Structure 1
Amino acid sequence: MTIDFFQLFSANSVLVVFTIIAIGYVIGNVKIGQFEIGITGGVLLCALVFGHFGFQIDPIVQSIGFTLFIYSVGWQAGPQIINVLRQDGLSYLTIALFMSLGSFALVVGLALVVDLENALAAGLMAGALTSTPTLVGAQNAVEAGLVPIPAGSTSEAIIESISVGYAITYIFGTVGLLLLVKLLPSLLKIDLVEKAQDFAKERGFVAEDSAKEAERPILRAYEVPSVDYEKKTVAQASSDFLSQYQDYGAIYKLKRGNDIIDVSPDTTLEPGDKLAFFCSPKLHEKIREEMKLGREVLDEDLVDAVVDVVEVVVNSSFAVGQTIGQLAIQQEHGCRLTRLTRSQIEMPLSPSTRVQRGDVMYLTGERAALQQLVSILGVEERAAVETDLLTFAAGIVVGLFIGQITVRIGGIDVGIGNAGGLLVSGIAVGFLRANRPTFGRMPAAARFILMELGLLFFMVGVGLNAGGGIIEALGAVGPKLFLCGVVVTCIPLLVGYAFGRIVLNMNPALLLGALTGAMTSTPALGIVQQAAKSSVPSLGYAGTYALANVLLTALGTLIMLL
């Protein structure tokens, strides 16, 4: 039996899509030194090759991918749109606007100087900034009929030109940005480690050592010895040790005879008492040595507890705006915060890190204590084992309807298109969900797969569309388009850094994080954090990322309307 693979792939869009995604994942995970092009880049490269050999897919696949991705971008940005205006918010807002509008102006200027058509200019901006939302906005403007089609051309040809521009500039946009953020501190003779430490001290925290905080707590009980503890309070007994760590909450239970007694710093200890501690293994060892406790005891009343891990979406008016230190999770509830993420970016576990609406806290503790803590902080994400597809689908429907609304101005129908409508709807649903968690359930894993799969479906379509004409385009406009891409990748970052330092007086470590967020480059954030040996840059990244996604989508549409 003979299998014609070319015919098999030509007749089966599903086979083409998932083959490209699988191979793209392999390519994207290949590292050369510290650099890798990432999953999106790997899928794009693979799709370009398939497209060059004439393979195509049903257009509905790319449309579904576009819809899932751009709506998810809005949904993720929703809780952070208001938060970005809080602590350091004006600086983040200014950086996001400066970078987005500055990049847009630079691209428009270059297009005029080197005579690039709008489609290639849109692809240039999207690729040089590695901004998929810009690409989505530009292509959707064509598909929605917002862009006049020149005589002798077609919407398909314009979309192909956008994809070609994106493909030619994307690789340097990825690798070049990583190189630039890695070399910039050295070129400017900036000690990024020192600057991150300065910021940490200024805000009253040591940002790094979150790894030790992430150790899973365990429950152990010890006997209070007959010496040194006569009529001492818990605070007195632990003053030389636990008070340094603000860890009174690590004392889980106290048993005296057959009675369980509530523990507070003022509780008086008596010989023969049994103390149960809920803390990390390392802290157990130090507690026993420094508090001079007796033998370990196995008492069911003390150690028979259900220890659990929960994810909590912060949305309570009590928690929003408080610092981690003010929430006193360990001291008052005996639970431990092991991770804090914002827009899927991990934040420093520092007493001065301010909690925002929509943040996700990963907490470990005894189940009853966790339930009480969850009621104070927000809603338990783990309880949402099912995705509320009704709200998800309804939000998309509303967004698509919004995208169809147009206003006639001077005889021209003006609208925001499907991309703008889906963004608006996604932002609204995400914001409402963060404030009223009674609807719109979407666990983190569901959010990731919907957004990631939508992006990859879309990128497969982009690569296949561009693959057919990329060889000709490389010969015709490739060199000048590539050089323009280098300029658009480098100049906004350098000018943005100067603006942030001179005008906004931002800390370099925080500023570089904000700049990578404004350019929506998570790999670049990783390079900055590695250079700073700190998670401080993630604060800046989270501050600009959500707003930049929204702005760049709108600018992708706008550049096609010029």
Structure 2
Amino acid sequence: MNIGQIGRPFTWVRSKGWVQLFTLLCVTFFSHLALAESLENQATQDASSVFGFLFSYIAQNPFVFLFLSIAIGYPLGKVTIKGVNLGPTAGTLVVGVAIALPAFSIYGLHINAPGLVSDIFLMMFMYAIGMKVGPQFFSGLARGGLDFVVIGLIVVFSNFLIVFFGSKLLDLAPGYAAGIISGSYTVTAVMGVAQSAINSGAVKAPAGMTLDQISANIAAGYAISYILSSVFIILLIKYLPAMFGIDPVKAGKDAEAEFGAGGDTEALPSTNGFSNLGVLPLDIRAYRVDHQELVGQDVESLFHRYPHAAILKVVRGEDVYEASDNPILQLGDIIGIRGDYHVLIEGGESSVGIEVDEPRARNVDIEVADIHLGKSEYTGKTIEDISKEVGFGIYMKALFRQGHQLPILPQTIVEVGDVIRVAGSDWCVKQAGKKLNSNPIVESTLTETFYLALSLLIGYVCGHFSVTLGGIPFALGTSAGCMLTGIIFSFLRTRNPAFGGPMSEGARSFLQDIGLSLFVAVLAATVGPKILASFQGIVVIKIAVLGLVAALLPPLLAWIYGLYVRKMNPAILAGACAGGRNSTPAMKGAQDECQSDMPAVGYPVPYALTSMIVLVLGYLAMVLY
């Protein structure tokens, strides 16, 4: 091979090979590019196919949608950021909408959750609410709660007026007002009452709108105002005393001084652990009767003389007498005394005689029981008075009202429907329960099926009756009817132990949670596809501003009334304002700021009152708008 032959390939490339080489490279590059795009499209199609299958499966199986929304929404709602969270209900609504909206907008799928499910569980929820607020609702109105009643009325009616006329002023479409009331008041049940007004035909859609769009407006108004209200009401109630130059800690101590000393945190009535004995500040010791002044005295009369020490057993030779026999003491008897440690240590031997080791006198089984107060001569009296009159052999561990623990203080007044947790011997506990017109509950064994079925039946039937006023049909509504029957049943059951006593708090709480959650999940399926239409223009800003004003201004007005007109203790007043706004987290925030449990004293009456009234006002916001 010569030099000329070596150069020929380069000559070929120079003459015509560059074109072919460039073409080859371009073909190769674009082939790879096309392949990559094809793979990407295939992956996109595969992903779309997977999501399409999932949404299609959910749309065909509403059961999956309902419980998937709850399963994800509950933990999502409990995620706390700087002490603030959505709450399980709002979390369920957000997740439900997040599923229903793309299912419709991307795949054209409707999730048809059965309306019957919504109706049934909403009525169950309303019944559970009625069972909670019923006992305190009537007794709070009847005696001792006038200031709390006025505070509740100020909050609930000013909220309605602000939202109703504010919505008119801002030219918001129908449905928004009821949603903002529900969200600003953080009472999701208002949405149920508003939806009931639509379902019953009391609300007519204006030209250019559908009833579904009105329902979507309710959900939109609720969602925006609920989130903002949940956050800012806690901050407002928590810092109200400081905003007015008041030391919250001092206010809490002043309230405690007025009522007595503080208490501990106990498990709610009929919930897990409520019957645990725990560590009690009392003991049972045995003494020989050596002092003549005790001879001839019976056990009961001695208790009235020494209310901090009760004789539970008397040992006389081979005989053992129970306190229920009310034996008369003799010289040389050995008595088992149950009392506070300091009482037994300081005064046992000096008042009775020498302490002895007699197991028979100290062999007393102690149990814990919840006594639900019925109507009796002792309601309306203080803990101190009750302890002296019916407290033989028992120790009062805790006091509950509407599922909230109150400080069990000497000057705390008990109401019908309150729950007193006591520890003592079986006979002593039963005797206390009989005097308080109640059956002590050691273990919750009540069944609620009968009362639930009867309440839903009566509430549903009564809710359908309507009255036309000014051309506008007014009906109680099935949901409000069920709440009213729950209130009445609870009222009757707390007054007559033969009716079974109050509902187990564990059962009631579950019924409330599952009822509301399933109702909200069905609502999300219905309004999810249309909710975007409710956020057009500046409507979000209007809802946010109006919702915040409606959430914060009413309790502020109530605070001013209670502080300057009624001169109420700021700690208790803060709890009353939180109760008027139906915000338990706000009440807890006030307790933290005051470093006291006393805000809980003002919470129940406004809470019970406004829980019912706000539902009526939510209904009126729909039919009158």
Q: Does 1:181 align with 2:241?
A: no
* TM-aligned CA deviation for residue 537 of structure 1: 1.3
Percent identity among equivalent residues? Answer: 29
Equivalent residues in 2 for 1:157-168, closer than 5 Å: 157-168=213-224
Aligned to 2:56: 7
Distance in 1, matches of 2:377 and 2:226, equals: 44
Question: How big is each residue's C-alpha offset from its partner over 1:277-309, in whole Å with a ceiling of 9 and x where there is no partner?
Answer: 446xxx54873477469777361x234333222
| Aligned equivalent of 1:528 | 590
Q: Is the 8 A contact 1:221 1:297 kept in 2?
A: no
Closer, same or farther in 2 for the Cα pair 1:483/1:219, shift >3 Å? Answer: closer
Cα distance, 1:106 vs structure 2: 0.6
CA distance in 1, matches of 2:98, 2:112: 11
In the aligned structure 2, how far is the partner of 1:165 from the partner of 1:172?
Answer: 11
The Cα of 1:382 is off from its aligned counterpart by 5.0
Does 1:20 pair with 2:81?
no
SS at the partner of 2:141? coil
| 2:377 match | 318
| Residue 287 (structure 1) aligns with | 344
Shift of 1:257: 3.9
Q: Summarize the alignment of residues 193-232 of structure 1 with structure 2, pairs less than 5 Å apart.
A: 193-203=249-259, 205-208=260-263, 215-217=278-280, 222=285, 224=287, 231=292
Assess if the C-alpha contact under 8 Å between 1:181 and 1:524 holds in 2.
yes
Alignment partner, residue 154 of structure 1: 210
Decide whether aligned partners of structure 1 residues 262 and 379 sit closer, same or farther in structure 2, where only a CA change above 3 A counts: closer
Residue of structure 2 equivalent to 1:106: 162
Which of 393, 397, 401 in structure 2 is aligned with 1:342? 401
For residues 448-467 of structure 1, the aligned pairs below 5 Å read 448-467=509-528
Q: 2:545 — aligned with what? A: 483
Query: Which residue number corresponds to residue 429 of structure 2?
Result: 370
8 Å Cα contact 2:182/2:188 also seen in 1: yes
Please say which structure displays the higher CA radius of gyration: 2
For residues 277 and 554 of structure 2, the distance between their equivalents in structure 1, rounded to whole angstroms, comes to 37
Q: Which amino acid aligns with 2:98?
A: V
- Equivalent residue for 1:446? 507
Q: Which of 404, 425, 434 matches 2:464?
A: 404
| 1:472-492 Cα deviation digits (max 9, x unpaired) | 433431122112212112211
Q: Which moved more, 1:73-82 or 1:336-345?
A: 73-82
1:430 pairs with 469, 490, 513, which one? Answer: 490
1:347 Cα deviation from its structure 2 partner: 1.4
Distance 1:443 1:427, change over 3 A: same
Rate the CA distance shift 1:465–1:526 in 2: closer, same or farther, 3 A. farther
- How far, CA to CA, are the matches of 2:118 and 2:150 in structure 1? 34
Distance 1:398 1:152 in 2: 38
Residues 118 and 209 from structure 1, CA distance in 2 versus in 1: closer, same or farther, beyond 3 angstroms? same
Matches of 1:439 and 1:331 in 2, distance apart? 23
Q: 1:531 to 1:294 in 2, by over 3 A?
A: farther
Equivalent residue number for residue 238 of structure 1: none
Establish whether residue 359 from structure 1 lines up as the match of residue 414 from structure 2.
no
1:92 paired to 2:153: no
Alpha-carbon distance between aligned partners in 2 of 1:216 and 1:304, rounded to the nearest angstrom:
18
Contact in 2 for aligned 1:221/1:274 (Cα 8 Å): no
Change (3 A) 1:28 1:294: farther
Q: In the alignment, what sits opposite 1:239?
A: none
Q: Closer, same or farther in 2 for the Cα pair 1:223/1:540, shift >3 Å?
A: closer
Instruction: Tell me, in whole angstroms, the C-alpha distance in 2 between the residues paired with 1:179 and 1:168.
Output: 18
Query: What is the alpha-carbon distance in structure 2 between the residues aligned to residue 427 and residue 286 of structure 1?
Result: 44
CA 245–298 in structure 1, closer or farther in 2 if over 3 Å, else same: closer
Q: Deviations over 1:336-386 (max 9, x none)?
A: 222221111111101221111111222221112212222122123457613
Per the TM alignment, residue 99 of structure 1 is displaced from its structure 2 partner at its CA by 0.9
Indicate yes or no: 2:440 matched with 1:380: yes
Contact (CA 8 Å) 1:172, 1:486: kept in 2 or not?
yes
Give me the whole-angstrom Cα distance separating, in 2, the residues matched to 1:15 and 1:382: 39
Deviation at 1:548, TM superposition (A): 0.5
Return the alpha-carbon distance in structure 1 between the equivalents of residues 123 and 621 of structure 2: 21
For residue 503 of structure 1, the aligned residue among 540, 565, 570 is 565
Structure 2 letter corresponding to 1:253: K
Determine the structure 1 residue equivalent to 2:89.
40
* Corresponding position: 1:59 with 2:115: yes
Measured against aligned partners, the alpha-carbon deviations of 1:84-123 in whole angstroms (never above 9, x if no partner) come to: 1244311111111111111111112211221112311111
Residues 214 and 337, structure 1, Cα contact 8 Å, conserved in 2: no
Normalised TM-score (structure 2): 0.79
Gaps of 5+ in 1: 235-241
> What SS is found at the alignment partner of 1:206?
coil
2:529 to 468, 471, 480: 468
- Any idea what SS the aligned residue of 2:499 has? coil
After superposition, the C-alpha distances for 1:49-87 in whole angstroms (9 at most, x for unaligned) are 223333553222222221111122223222222211244
Aligned to 1:543: 605
Matches of 2:74 and 2:281, distance apart in 1: 38
AA aligned opposite 1:404: H
Superposed counterparts of 1:288-303, under 5 Å: 288=345, 291=348, 297=357, 299=359, 301-303=360-362
How many residues are treated as equivalent by the alignment?
A: 544
Amino acid at match of 1:315: G
Q: 1:426 to 1:350 in 2, by over 3 A?
A: same
One-letter amino acid of the structure 2 residue matched with residue 360 of structure 1: V
Equivalent-residue separation in structure 1 for 2:463 and 2:292 (angstroms)? 72
| Helix, strand or coil at the partner of 2:416 | coil
Q: Does 1:30 align with 2:79?
A: yes
- Distance, in Å, in 2 between the alignment partners of 1:160 and 1:306 is 60
Q: Answer with 214-223 or 320-329: which moved more.
A: 214-223
> How far did residue 261 of structure 1 move?
5.9
Give, in angstroms, the shift of residue 493 of structure 1. Answer: 1.9
2:24 alignment partner in structure 1:
none
Q: Report the secondary structure of 1:547's partner residue.
A: helix
What whole-Å deviation, never above 9, does each CA across 1:416-444 have from its counterpart, x for those lacking one?
Answer: 22233223322222222222332366322
Q: Structure 1 residues 260 and 437, CA, compared in 2 at 3 Å: closer, same or farther?
A: closer
Taking the aligned partners of 2:388 and 2:62, their CA distance within structure 1 comes to: 51
Paired residues of 1:277 and 1:284 also in contact (CA < 8 A) = no
Q: What one-letter code is carried by the residue in structure 1 that aligns with 2:577?
A: L
Structure 2 unaligned regions, length at least 5: 1-49, 104-110, 267-275, 296-302
Secondary structure in structure 1 of the residue aligned to 2:603:
helix
Describe the SS at the equivalent of 1:346.
strand
TM-score normalised over the length of structure 1: 0.87
